[in-house]
Amino acid sequence: MVGFKYSSQDILLLALVCLPYVYGQSGLELVRLKNELFVTQNYNTKVRPVDDQSQAIVVNVDFALVGINSFSDSDQILTTTGYLTVKWIDQSLDWISSNYDGITNMLVPQDEIWKPDITLDNGVSSKTSMGQKFIQATVESTGQVTWSPYEVFETSCSVNIVHFPFDKQVCDIKFITYMYDDSKVRLQIGTQGFYLSNFEKNGKWDIESMTTSSETINGKTVISFTMNLQRKSSFYMLFLILPAILLSLLNAFVFVLPAGSGEKVGYTIAVFLSYALFYTILSESLPQNSDDISTVAAYLFFMMFLSTLATIVTIIELRIYNKPKTGRLPVNIVRFVKFVLHQRCMCSCCFKEDFMDEHTDGEWTKVIGPWLDCDWKDFVDALDFILFWAFLICTAVSTAVCLVMASSLTPLF
């Protein structure tokens, strides 16, 4: 008997020649496998793939968040991009891999197999089937099917704007089977749950935490993927809050202007219109149907009230300032002027003599000397001094209280 010996070069050449034949066999086996599963066995995409139709198909659902596209506060709509990972057992699509050249899995277009009718439960648009036609599902020899539809989800999210722009929002993305109840298809949370996948950060919102939960409503399981969002407040602090605080200081400084300058009323009206503009800008970024009042909106409204009050007081002051002096001032007004202006030496009535009760007779002063020189203009100057500090302290206190309450997430009302 003659033996044959092959060198390593001969073995390599033989492997290269046979390689196309091996791959050709795998391709043919895959075609044969698909024909066996879908044609020979008469696979029907409209029938639940379970031998015992009284049993429910368990569907595991995971959600991978890719990005937050937008969050409309006024419309209360959250737009996100992500994809589901849906897994279930299809008893009509299992095979013995050794019978088909070791094939353990294959890709099948999603429209050629049965899929659970999962839909977005809290979506704002009409309900449609998930997944595009080009998406394929992975089918394993054990019958496990993995389907990953990639979608842009628009969901409703109730917005609480009390602490704007330091607010936190809790938004859910809920999924449910549209037609099947739990006796036919039962959803449950997968092993990964809610997670990030190549996540792109949003310029306005940060994700603090992500949770997953499920509940049964009307015989159907609803899976909720919950996000806790924190608004990034730097932009609003720089372009809204700080300008509003600086503008609030102008209310007090109207009382620094001399009454005789003729600019006090125009000054107060300009400040009021500036607050009205800020209030309009803020209202455009807040939900129109909110049952809550924003802390910042309440602060701006209070500053508008102070501006209105300053305008009214200024007009009254100007009326008093231009009032002719027809007699001596009432004793209480003289005492008020002396109390305010005595140490400042702003008018001729600021002497060190004590004002005694015996210097008065009835409602009018009988003061001998410098007390008779005080007039209504001195009264307006003294009133301006008091109002300046009153408005300044009120503005500082209200600003500090509103900022602390907003940033500490303490309810305002």
pLDDT 10s digits, 123-137 = 988 777 788 888 999
More confident residue, 144 or 3: 144
How far apart are the C-alpha atoms of 107 and 112, rounded to whole Å?
11
pLDDT at 327: 62
Query: Binning pLDDT at 50, 70 and 90, where does residue 357 land?
Result: very low
Quote the distance between the C-alpha of residue 264 and its chain's center.
Answer: 41
More confident residue, 136 or 351: 136
Query: Binning pLDDT at 50, 70 and 90, where does residue 25 land?
Result: very low
Per-residue pLDDT tens for 39-84?
A: 988 999 999 999 898 999 999 999 999 999 999 887 889 999 999 9
pLDDT at 60: 97
Q: Name, in order, each residue with C-beta under 8 angstroms of 42's C-beta and a sequence gap of 6 or more.
A: none
Lowest-confidence pick of 12-16, 228-232, 295-299, 318-322: 12-16
Are 173 and 225 contacting, i.e. CB atoms less than 8 angstroms apart? yes
pLDDT at 351: 43
The yes-or-no verdict on residue 98 having pLDDT over 50 is yes
pLDDT at 326: 66
| Average pLDDT, integer, range 215-232 | 94
pLDDT at 108: 95
The yes-or-no verdict on residue 23 having pLDDT over 50 is no
What average pLDDT does the structure give for the chain? 82
* pTM to 2 decimal places: 0.75
The yes-or-no verdict on residue 147 having pLDDT over 70 is yes
How far apart are the C-alpha atoms of 59 and 116, rounded to whole Å?
8
Per-residue pLDDT tens for 303-348?
A: 989 999 999 999 998 888 887 766 666 777 777 777 776 645 444 4
pLDDT at 17: 42
| Average pLDDT, integer, range 189-214 | 93
Question: Which domains does the chain carry?
Answer: 57-232 (2.70.170.10), 235-325+375-407 (1.20.58.390)
Nearest to 109 by CA among 143, 140, 135: 135
pLDDT at 244: 86
| Average pLDDT, integer, range 257-284 | 85
**DSSP string covering 186-225:** EEEEEEEEEEEEEEEPPSSEEEEEEEEEEEEETTEEEEEE
3-state helix, strand, coil in the chain (%, to 5): 40, 25, 35
pLDDT at 289: 60
Residue 349: CA count within 13 A, CB half-sphere: 25
Lowest-confidence pick of 11-15, 23-27, 246-250: 11-15
**pLDDT above 70: percentage of residues in the chain:** 81
pLDDT at 354: 45
Q: Name, in order, each residue with C-beta under 8 angstroms of 375's C-beta and a sequence gap of 6 or more.
A: 325, 329
